Amino acid sequence: MEISAKYNPSEIENKWYEYWLKEGFFKSTPDGREPYTVVIPPPNVTGVLHMGHMLNNTIQDVLVRKARMEGKNACWVPGTDHASIATEAKVVNLLKSKGIDKSNISRDEFLTHAWEWKEKYGGIILEQLKKLGASCDWDRTRFTMEPKLSDAVRDVFVDLYEKGLIYRGTRMVNWDPQGKTTLSDEEVIFKEVKDSLYYIKYVGVDFEGYLEVATARPETIAGDVAICVNPNDERYAHLIGKKVNVPLINREVTIIEDSYIDIEFGTGVLKVTPAHDIHDYEIGLKNNLQVIDTLNEDGTISEAGQLFVGMDRFEARKEWVKALTEADLLIKVEDYTHNVGCSERTDAVVEPRISTQWFLNMKEFMKKNPQVLDAVMNDEIKFFPEKLKNTYKHWIENIRDWNISRQLWWGHRIPAFYAPDGSFVVAKNAEEAVLKFGEKNKSITIEELQQDEDVLDTWFSSWLWPISVFDGFESEEEVSYYYPTNDLVTAPEIMFFWVARMIMAGYEYRGEMPFKNVYYTGIVRDKLRRKMSKSLGNSPDPLDLIASHGADSVRLGMLLCAPAGNDILFDESQIEQGRNFCNKIWNAFRLIKSWESDAVALREYESETINWFSLRMSSVISENEAHFKEFRLSNALMNLYKLIWDDFCSTYLEGVKPAYGSKISADALSASQEFMDALMKAIHPFMPFISEEIHQELGIDQTACVVSKYPDFVKSHNSDLELVLQLLQKFEVSEHNINYLQKLNLRYGSEMLCPKLIPIKA
């Protein structure tokens, strides 16, 4: 077969991926081998491949492919997350484009549209991962809302409720006005915002003058129910118990005291609006104050707000400032920079809101499962980089109750059922609910029951992922073999959302850790250190990169600049470096295939060069085992890069290359082909396509590269340098080997390794 003069990835990538799938190389079933298990961090069903996904999944694929070649039963489970908030927003927008308002259709009708959307668009990202070369067991693909996984979610909710760990209560929560749902604390992202601080007159009712109050949110003034000062503030001590008028509203409120008030901030006077601030809420509870909610769930002014009703909160702020100015109640405005909480999903500014929700009592949960912290701190579960253990420890030790209910229709509906009188039971289904009401001496029919309208936080299903993907809540058949999983590759920003909670579920429901190692990838940034995002326009489309350069080039370019745990400064020139490396490998392969051999005995220079490279390759593979163990994949790849480019292509091939018009010995040709094949096996986890192509073309064995044996290393008492000295001392300088000797000289950085060789300057 004629070998193409130029390496063309587009010709081989689909060919080999289809071959791997057809031969079932990615499939895994329990057997007697050591399992190596990885569960994919399930991307949102709304998602498409971005640079972060590409990095994360390339790393997983490298680990899985190497384990497969080491003879382990490699099982990489793919799947997607239903992503309640993001998916519901997509479906709502789709319906709007068709002239349909969510509020005008039933829940069942909405869910019909949502499932149709999921079936049409939900698998896009998994198909895109195939272009990257991801060697997942696609027959195991799971979805967090498929029946068995949904059953597991309901079972866990009922179990935790019956254990007294889940409760329903009215508390101040984080509210997303755009998504119209509550959020957990972890779903609120704080951003530094340049704002204004407004100084406003609160005129005295039973004293002369006014109090000067500084606020960043004049639109909430209608919700004021008190004014609060620090009891140690001498400026205001004489006014405690007096009254002022709420500006423009003319409601009389009392001046109260609380040591929480910061004397140094603003004027030292706080307007107390319990419905719109967590600290005000707590002051209100202590003082039994009224709660006036001036905002609707969509962030517009409510009837209780009295002024500018129906107007968006930020537009209402402008109108309040105008009205206060006209009434001579606005004293001054100052620039003000502060942190504002935003929804992790919609980016809307989050509002504190008093609401009845479902919570998981995390402090009690942690008392029951101390291993959740201990296992990480004692390295039973290893974090890479290790420094993130302290971040984890701080969060666990300061953990707050988990708000697990969401005001959405898409998701796992909370399994709580209400009787007409408002009483409720928690049960897996309506039939069980009827029985539980019966146990309470209540005769209720299914028709009389009303299931809770809310759904569960998306993370309440994904925290079960390492167990539920193996149907571990209903059977031991697979979970006992594959669990605990080996390595989790994920981003540090979901340490609390997902990693910590999977550890919690693992100890609660399996009594052991869910994974042995957690490798936290860095953030992919551009050359200016900006996080890559569509909004900034600085993120290339991974599929475009693959189409133009090939998957192997993209994988190599990404991983070479991805040191363990650190951010990745991405530049497309790194992908070009990957392409150049592919070309270098291809040209080396073509060179070897072009050689003709004769039956002469192995020449001394051929023998010595072969011995040197054999030990050199063994040394690199041995060193790389330590890199793999510590997840230093960038280091391991760079070692292989240099081994192939410098040692093999530039040095070894020069050493054995026959003179012009001559032939290479048959044994040297065979050794060169075997080295080339071994190098392809070593690089295969990183660059699966070109390695499979060359391995198959060499035809040294009939086993596909993807399931071939990973190269062993030979232990030697000689160092590389000692071997080179021995090699050089045996050589006679000749026209044939002078170039090779010069390369060795430069490779090992010495001015004079051999008396026979003229010093070469780099």
- What is the Cα–Cα distance from 226 to 243, expressed in whole angstroms? 9
Rounded to 5 degrees, φ, ψ at 334 are: -120, 150
Question: Where does the pLDDT of residue 535 fall: very low under 50, low under 70, confident under 90, or very high at 90 and above?
Answer: low
* Residue environment code for 504-529, b if the CB has 16+ CB neighbours within 10 A, otherwise e: bbbbbbbeebbbebbbbbbbbbbeee
- Residues in contact with 242: Cβ distance below 8 Å, sequence separation at least 6, in sequence order: 204, 205, 206, 207, 254, 255
Let me know: does 614 contact 655? Beta carbons within 8 Å: no
CB 139 within 8 A of CB 153: no
Q: What is the pLDDT of residue 609?
A: 87
What amino acid is encoded at 315 in this protein? E
Q: How many residues does the chain have?
A: 762
35 pairs with which residues across the strands? 73
Spatial distance between the Cα atoms of 462 and 469, rounded to a whole number of angstroms: 10
DSSP string, 80-134: EB--HHHHHHHHHHHHHHTT--GGGS-HHHHHHHHHHHHHHHTTHHHHHHHHHT-
Residue 90's nearest CA partner among 66, 109, 115 is 115
pLDDT of residue 757: 36
pLDDT for 565 beyond 70: no
Torsion of CA 168, 345, 398, 407, to 10 degrees: 0
CA-nearest of 19, 38, 66 to 683 is 66
pTM of the predicted structure, to 2 decimals? 0.86
Q: Is the pLDDT of residue 444 over 80?
A: yes
Maximum average pLDDT range among 78-87, 166-175, 339-348, 370-379: 370-379
**With pLDDT > 90 as the criterion, what percentage of the chain qualifies?**
74
- Average pLDDT on 449-462 reads 96
Rounded Cα–Cα distance for residues 728 and 608 (Å): 9
d(CA 138, CA 86): 24
Where is mean pLDDT largest: 25-29, 43-47, 701-705? 25-29
In this predicted model, which residue has the larger pLDDT, 696 or 601? 696
CA angle 636–392–187, rounded 5-degree value:
105
Helix (H, G, I), strand (E, B) or coil at 304: helix
b/e burial code for range 457-494 (CB count within 10 A of at least 16 → b): bbbbbbbbbbbbbbbbbeeeebbebbbbbbbbbbbbeb
Q: What is the pLDDT of residue 741?
A: 55
Contact at 8 Å (CB) between 698 and 679?
no
Residue 754 scores a pLDDT above 90: no
The conformation of residue 440, written as its DSSP 8-state character, comes to T
487-515 per-position pLDDT tens digit: 999 988 899 999 999 999 999 999 999 99
Predicted confidence at residue 714, as pLDDT, reads 57
Judge whether residue 735 has pLDDT over 70: no
Contact criterion met (CB below 8 Å) for 639 and 679: no
Residue 696 tokens read as 């198959």
Check whether domain 182-343 has CATH 3.90.740.10, yes or no: yes
Q: Where are the beta strands (DSSP E) in 136-240?
A: 142-143, 166-176, 181-183, 188-203, 210-215, 226-229
pLDDT given for residue 264 in this prediction: 86
Strand intervals (E) in 204-329: 210-215, 226-229, 243-245, 252-257, 269-272
Lowest pLDDT segment from 179-183, 374-378, 677-681 = 179-183
Asked if pLDDT for residue 296 goes beyond 70, the answer is yes
DSSP SS3 for 318: helix
Write down the CATH superfamily of domain 31-146+459-521: HUPs (3.40.50.620)
**How far is the CA of 25 from the CAs of 42, 65, 421, 720, in angstroms?**
22, 10, 58, 37
pLDDT tens across 328-338, in order? Answer: 999 999 999 98
Mean pLDDT of 456-468: 97
Confidence of residue 268 (pLDDT cuts 50, 70, 90): very high
3-state secondary structure of 220: helix
Which one is predicted more confidently, 534 or 530?
Answer: 530
Which pLDDT band, with edges at 50, 70 and 90, does 716 fall under?
A: very low
- Tokens found for residue 712: 């062993």
Cα 308 from Cα 317, distance rounded (Å)? 9
Peptide bond into 385 cis (omega under 30): yes
Residue 287 class from Cβ within 10 Å (0-12 exposed, 13-18 middle, 19+ buried)?
A: middle
Band of the pLDDT at 752, cuts 50, 70, 90? Answer: very low
Of 596, 587, 590, nearest to 661 by C-alpha is 596
Which of 55-64, 389-398, 723-732 has the lowest average pLDDT? 723-732
pLDDT of residue 531: 76
Pairing of strands 416-418, 424-426: antiparallel
Q: What does the pLDDT average to over 662-683?
A: 95
Q: Which of 7, 24, 9, 19 is CA-nearest to residue 696? A: 19
pLDDT digits (tens, 9 = 90+) for 123-179: 888 999 999 999 999 999 999 999 999 999 999 999 999 999 999 999 899 999 998
For residue 394, with 0-12 CB atoms within 10 Å meaning exposed, 13-18 middle and 19 or more buried, which class applies?
A: exposed
Mean pLDDT of the chain: 90
Classified as helix, coil or strand, 344 is coil
* pLDDT exceeds 50 at position 756: no
- pLDDT-derived band at 750 (thresholds 50, 70, 90) equals very low
**Could you tell me which residues come within 8 angstroms of residue 97 by beta carbon, excluding any fewer than 6 positions away?**
none
In which band, very low, low, confident or very high, does the pLDDT at 367 lie, cut at 50, 70 and 90?
Answer: very high
Judge contact between 415 and 449, C-beta under 8 A: no
* Of 120, 118, 663, 178, the residue nearest 411 (C-alpha): 118
Please name every residue paired with 355 in a beta bridge, in sequence order, or none if there are none. 171
Domain ranges, ordered by start, for the chain: 31-146+459-521, 182-343
How far is Cα 78 from Cα 41, in angstroms, rounded to an integer? Answer: 8
Tell me, what's the pLDDT at 292?
Answer: 95
Lowest mean pLDDT among 340-354, 437-451, 720-734: 720-734
The pLDDT value recorded for residue 723 is: 55
Instruction: Please list the residues that pair with 336 across neighbouring strands.
Output: 195
Q: How far apart are CA 429 and CA 431, in angstroms?
A: 6
| pLDDT-derived band at 542, boundaries 50, 70, 90 | confident
Residue 424, amino acid:
F
Minimal CA–CA distance to 229: which of 254, 259, 274? 259
Assess whether pLDDT exceeds 70 at residue 187.
yes
Is residue 345 very low, low, confident or very high in pLDDT (cuts 50, 70, 90)? confident
How would residue 720 be classed by pLDDT, with cut points 50, 70 and 90? low
User: For the chain, what is the total number of helices (H) and then of strands (E)?
Assistant: 26, 27
User: Pick the residue with more confidence: 392 or 760?
Assistant: 392
Question: Of the ranges 119-123, 142-146, 713-717, which one carries the lowest mean pLDDT score?
Answer: 713-717
pLDDT beyond 50 at 89: yes
Above 70 in pLDDT, residue 624? yes
Q: How confident is the model at residue 366 (pLDDT cuts 50, 70, 90)?
A: very high
pLDDT at residue 471 above 90?
yes
Q: Which residues contact 266 (CB under 8 A, 6 or more apart)?
A: 197, 199, 213, 214
Burial of 205: CB neighbours in 10 Å, binned 0-12, 13-18, 19+:
middle
Q: For 294-298, 355-359, 413-417, 601-605, which range has the lowest pLDDT when averaged over its residues? A: 601-605
The pLDDT score that the predictor gives to residue 726 is 54
- Tens digit of pLDDT for each residue in 208-223? 999 999 999 999 999 9
